[in-house]
Structure formats: C-alpha cells, structure tokens
Amino acid sequence: MPALHKDNTLKKRIFSSLVLIAGTAAAAAVDWVCGLAVTFIVAAALREFFGMLEKKGLKIYKRFGILVGAVIPFSIMLRFELTRGWELFFLAAGLLTLIILQFSRRDNSGAIVDISVTIFGIIYIAWFLSFLIKIRYMEGGLGLIVVLLLIAKGGDIGAYLIGRRFGRTPLLPRISPRKSVEGAVGGLLFSAAAGTVGGMLLKLPMTLPQLLFIGTSLGILAQLGDLSESLVKRDCQVKDSGNFFPGMGGILDVVDSLIFTAPVFYFYLTFNTYR
C-alpha cells in the first residue's frame, strides 16, 4: 500500500505540473489573458497565505491585502504607470492605509505585527509574481515564460523523483523534514536541463553557457522559494496552503517556486539580453 500511495502521489504531482505548464503557456499566448491569470493567481495565493496566518492567530487585514495585491499585477497588465516603478505607489499607499485602519481598532497590542505581515504578503506574493507579466510583455515573452515554468516545475519534479528514490540526507529538517540534499541536487540538475533544452527548442537568443547559467541559478531560487513557503507553513503548523491541485496542495504551494525566480529572471533579461 505505501508503494501504491507513492505512485499515485507521483502521478498526481506530474499531472498537476503538466496541467499548470500547459495552462499557463496557453494563457500566456495572449498577453492580457496572461495578466488576468497572474492577477487571479496572486489573489488566490494571498487568500491562502493570509488564511494560514489567521490560523496562527494573527489579525491581519485579509480583504484589504488581497485587494491591494490584486491591483498591482492588474495595473501592470493595463500598463498603467504614471511613473517608473508605479507598483511601488500601491505598496506605499497600502502601508499608509493600513496605519489609518489600525487607528480604528480598539486593540492595538499587535499593531506592528498585523501591519507588517500584511505588507509582507503583498510584497512576497503580489509584487514578486507580478514580474511574470513584465516578462510576458518583453520581446519573445511567451517563450521566456515557458522556459521559466520548465525550470521551476522541472526542478519540482526532479527533486521529488530523486529525493523519493535516493534521498538519505535531510536538507533542512526543522523547516521541511521530507526534503533531502539528494533531492535538492536532483532538482537542480533537472532545472538546468529543462532550462537549457527548453531554451534551445524555443530558440531563445541566448548562448549555451547563458542557458546553463539561467537554468542553474533560477533552479536554486526556485528551491529557495519552495523552502520559504515551507517556513511559513511550518510556523503556521499547516501541511499545505490549500487543496486546489491534486497531490500538490494549494495554489501557493504550486507557484512558490516562481516567487523569487520571476523578478530575478526579469532583471537578468533587462540587464543582459532583452531591452
């Protein structure tokens, strides 16, 4: 029975990953559809994130945080920018509004924590994931999004496959007891291979060393994104952020590997390859 359970879990993870890659790639085929998809993902991920924090007993500003978080990618989708870095305005305005809202609360004992955690969620999820839209709006953006997804989700699958078969050495047991060093190395190799092969097949204007560098560096960041969410779940004492995807948990569980990779990939492209 345990072996059968593992096989079913593996099939669910692979199926969910393939559906995510195919679905996101299809949505990214049209830039405004990609923008709406990212906005939905951000709102849903924030809902899960704030939900976990509520279980911890924090009195966060859930609805306001989701609203501000959704506005950031939506404004980028509309290319509504009065100045460069327009999304920073929403962060500043959001912080000011949260402080004003806090004035109306009778209990101010946890004011700093409640406000800080709400802003953290907006930055960590909404702002960072909104870079997916900026990447899509670049020249050849569809191919770039596909390669980013291949790197992130290829690493997820590789880490699970290698860790399940060869995992012996705990990676960070206090944060994620089931992750192993062997799985992390396997995931990194899968990310590097997926980024290189995907970039070559999609004919991205990058050299082989560049593709290897992208696959490896983003593979590391993808795992850091996974571990960062594991840290949050560990602190909130929950197994998954939700149950939206079979075998993989909630939406945040699935997109956590994109949280750090999306902004770093965008800046790399901006400074090196694309303008």
Question: Residue 185 pLDDT > 50, yes or no?
Answer: yes
Question: What's the whole-number mean pLDDT along residues 171-179?
Answer: 86
- Residue 155 near residue 44 (C-beta atoms within 8 A): no
Residue 264 has a pLDDT of 96
pLDDT in tens, 26-73: 776 778 888 999 999 999 999 999 999 998 888 888 999 999 999 999
User: How many other CB atoms sit within 10 Å of the CB of residue 181?
Assistant: 15
- The residues, any chain, with a CB within 8 Å of residue 211's CB and separated by 6 or more, are 195, 196, 199, 200, 204
What own/partner pairs with CB < 8 Å and gap ≥ 24 does 200-209 have? 202/143, 202/146, 202/147, 203/143, 204/140, 204/143, 204/144, 204/147, 205/140, 205/273, 206/273
Give me the helices (H) in 167-245, please: 181-201, 208-236
Q: In whole angstroms, give the CA distance from residue 209 to residue 215.
A: 10
Q: In whole angstroms, give the CA distance from residue 233 to residue 95.
A: 25
pLDDT in tens, 69-96: 999 999 888 876 655 666 777 778 888 8
Q: In whole angstroms, give the CA distance from residue 64 to residue 104.
A: 15
Q: pTM of the entire structure? A: 0.87
pLDDT in tens, 60-71: 889 999 999 999
> Residue 170 forms beta bridges with which residues?
180
Question: Residue 5 pLDDT > 80, yes or no?
Answer: no
Give me the helices (H) in the chain, please: 2-28, 31-55, 62-77, 87-103, 111-121, 128-129, 131-136, 141-166, 181-201, 208-236, 251-255, 261-268
159 is written with which tokens? 């880490």
Percent of the chain with pLDDT over 90: 49
Q: In whole angstroms, give the CA distance from residue 275 to residue 255.
A: 26
126 secondary structure, DSSP code: I
Q: In whole angstroms, give the CA distance from residue 13 to residue 260.
A: 21
User: How many other CB atoms sit within 10 Å of the CB of residue 110?
Assistant: 16
Q: In whole angstroms, give the CA distance from residue 262 to residue 110.
A: 32
